[in-house]
Chains A and B, each alone.
Chain A
Amino acid sequence: MGSPMEYNGGSVVAMVGKDCVAIATDLRLGQQSIGVAYNFDKVVAVNDKLYYGLPGLATDVYSLREHLRFRVNMYRMKEEREITPKTFTHLVSSSLYEKRFGPWFIEPVVAGLPQPTELDPHPKPFISTMDTIGCITTPKDFAVAGTAADKLYGAAEGLWEPDLEPDDLFETISQTLLNAVDRDCLSGWGAIVHVITQDKVVTRRLRSRMD
């Protein structure tokens, strides 16, 4: 069958900007080399300040998304507040580690803006990524995952710069994703980009090569 991580294809990228973050995904769902659907959104919102993407085995994308929705709803009811990006990352991480010896084949990417608090009135934009068993990495610049991860690293390394404004961040993440997935057989078939700022989220659907 080959690697479960490359069975369905798909990629996600997140980037930090100046008081904003962006997260983007392609829309392909495949069965190895055959394309099955071009509407497979791998990025989900937790709330209007926190998004996450789940590239990997599609069945686990659904299962883990359902599991996380349940856990976040329970958190919301018990704590009577929204979950922070950092706490959410640890929730995802422990959900993944729960299945240490029979993992979810997913490499999540989290992107969010923490709410200002008394202790931390100017929180920094937050992105993080994990491996399939929940080992967290918290980069300062960008996070990539999926079948085009290697190409995304190259494109992001060349295009990203610090303190991008929302509009420039959108351009940067879009060009990064589109150019990377065009070099990957298993990703592409359209894309969705979310740019999260303190007062709004801008979601745009990108058209791309359909081959």
Chain B
Amino acid sequence: MGDCSFGITGKDFVILASDMNAGRGIIKMKSDENKIRALGPHLAMAYGGETGDTEQFTDYVERNMRLYHIRNHNALLPPAASAWIRRQLAQSLRSRKPYAVNLLLGGFDTTTSLPHLYWIDYLGTKADIPYAAHGFGMYVALSTMDKWWFEGMPKEKGVELLRKCINEVQSRIVVQFNFNCILIDADGVHQLDLSASDPIADLSRAPEKAEVEVPNPIIAAPA
């Protein structure tokens, strides 16, 4: 519950942002922890929850997404990936030790050229929505998104909206947060530098050069 993450879809992209705190209770041990993970060439998730569970679960998801990609020569599309992840959490919920992981799954469907965003909590609840928040963001920034989000947003407006949300969190929540942020579009997963005056301008860089580790297996086409 100490976390805070946002997801925003637009015309041809999804933005995911997550806080970078790590710690326990009222103690902050780290403020530069990356809590966004790329799961494929056009898929990523921002996660939060019980530390340890989060790492275990995201590793598990990432490796399974990779396995599917290797076996089938095609990455799982966002709707299918969301269903698989949800099911893992739902099954885990009724096990001896459930994963306490909340996540926002963002992806770009290259077959339809549509962005997808899924709000998933540790119970296995899934919501397919255009903008979402987890943790503290739900209390203070959902209303900001209700007010400013609109259908078919361009990238610049998406970043502008994200900045409004982060501003709301930083002014209304006692805990101090740093945020890191990615953007997924038809070209793949890009790192967004929120400290830059125009983060979108940096996107012309190839996704390989972005600071995001994309599990993108190079597979020879079957003979």
Chain A residues within CB distance 8 Å of chain B: 8, 29, 31, 34-37, 39-40, 57-60, 62-63, 66, 102
**With known contacts A34-B139, A36-B132, A58–B123 Cβ distance under 8 A:** yes
Question: Are B138's CB and A31's CB within 8 A?
Answer: yes
Q: A58-B125, A102-B94 are in contact. List 8 more A-B contacts (CB 8 A).
A: A29-B125, A29-B127, A36-B138, A37-B119, A37-B129, A59-B89, A62-B90, A62-B125
**With known contacts A34-B138, A34-B139, A62–B119 Cβ distance under 8 A:** no
Q: In the complex, what's the smallest C-beta–C-beta distance from B139 to chain A, in angstroms?
A: 7
Which chain B residues lie closer than 8 Å to A58 at the CB level?
Answer: 123, 125-126
5 A-B pairs closest in CB distance: A59-B124, A37-B127, A58-B125, A59-B123, A59-B125
Q: In the complex, what's the smallest C-beta–C-beta distance from A28 to chain B, in angstroms?
A: 11
Question: Are B124's CB and A63's CB within 8 A?
Answer: yes
Interface centre among B119, B127, B138 (most CB of A within 10 A): B127
Question: Are B142's CB and A8's CB within 8 A?
Answer: no
Q: In the complex, what's the smallest C-beta–C-beta distance from A126 to chain B, in angstroms?
A: 30
Which chain B residues lie closer than 8 Å to A60 at the CB level?
Answer: 90
B89's nearest neighbour on chain A, judged by CB, is A59
**Interface members, chain B 123-168 (any A CB < 8 Å):** 123-129, 132, 138-139, 142
Q: In the complex, what's the smallest C-beta–C-beta distance from B146 to chain A, in angstroms?
A: 9
Q: In the complex, what's the smallest C-beta–C-beta distance from B157 to chain A, in angstroms?
A: 22
B185 in the interface, Cβ–Cβ < 8 Å? no
B22 in the interface, Cβ–Cβ < 8 Å? no
Contact with A along B97-131 (1 / 0, CB 8 A): 00000000000000000000001010111111100
CA distance A36 to B126 in the complex (A): 10
Contact with A along B23-39 (1 / 0, CB 8 A): 00000000000000000
Q: Which of A31, A35, A62 contacts B126 (CB 8 A)?
A: A62
**With known contacts A31-B138, A37-B119, A59–B90 Cβ distance under 8 A:** yes
Question: Are B121's CB and A31's CB within 8 A?
Answer: yes
CA distance A59 to B119 in the complex (A): 12
Which chain B residues lie closer than 8 Å to A36 at the CB level?
Answer: 119, 125, 127, 129, 132, 138
B66 in the interface, Cβ–Cβ < 8 Å? no
Which chain B residues lie closer than 8 Å to A59 at the CB level?
Answer: 86, 89-90, 93, 123-125
CA distance A29 to B86 in the complex (A): 16
Q: In the complex, what's the smallest C-beta–C-beta distance from A99 to chain B, in angstroms?
A: 9
CA distance A40 to B128 in the complex (A): 8
CA distance A62 to B132 in the complex (A): 19
**Interface members, chain B 83-99 (any A CB < 8 Å):** 86-87, 89-90, 93-94
Which chain B residues lie closer than 8 Å to A39 at the CB level?
Answer: 127-129
Which chain B residues lie closer than 8 Å to A102 at the CB level?
Answer: 94
CA distance A60 to B86 in the complex (A): 11
Q: In the complex, what's the smallest C-beta–C-beta distance from A90 to chain B, in angstroms?
A: 24
CA distance A37 to B121 in the complex (A): 13
Which chain A residues lie closer than 8 Å to B119 at the CB level?
Answer: 36-37
A34's nearest neighbour on chain B, judged by CB, is B138
B142's nearest neighbour on chain A, judged by CB, is A34
Q: In the complex, what's the smallest C-beta–C-beta distance from B67 to chain A, in angstroms?
A: 22
CA distance A83 to B158 in the complex (A): 48
Which chain A residues lie closer than 8 Å to B138 at the CB level?
Answer: 31, 34, 36
A37's nearest neighbour on chain B, judged by CB, is B127
CA distance A34 to B135 in the complex (A): 11
CA distance A60 to B87 in the complex (A): 10
Q: In the complex, what's the smallest C-beta–C-beta distance from B85 to chain A, in angstroms?
A: 12
Q: In the complex, what's the smallest C-beta–C-beta distance from A191 to chain B, in angstroms?
A: 17
CA distance A63 to B124 in the complex (A): 9
Which chain A residues lie closer than 8 Å to B125 at the CB level?
Answer: 8, 29, 31, 36, 58-59, 62
Interface centre among B126, B132, B138 (most CB of A within 10 A): B126
A61's nearest neighbour on chain B, judged by CB, is B125
CA distance A93 to B40 in the complex (A): 40
Q: In the complex, what's the smallest C-beta–C-beta distance from B151 to chain A, in angstroms?
A: 14
Q: In the complex, what's the smallest C-beta–C-beta distance from A30 to chain B, in angstroms?
A: 10
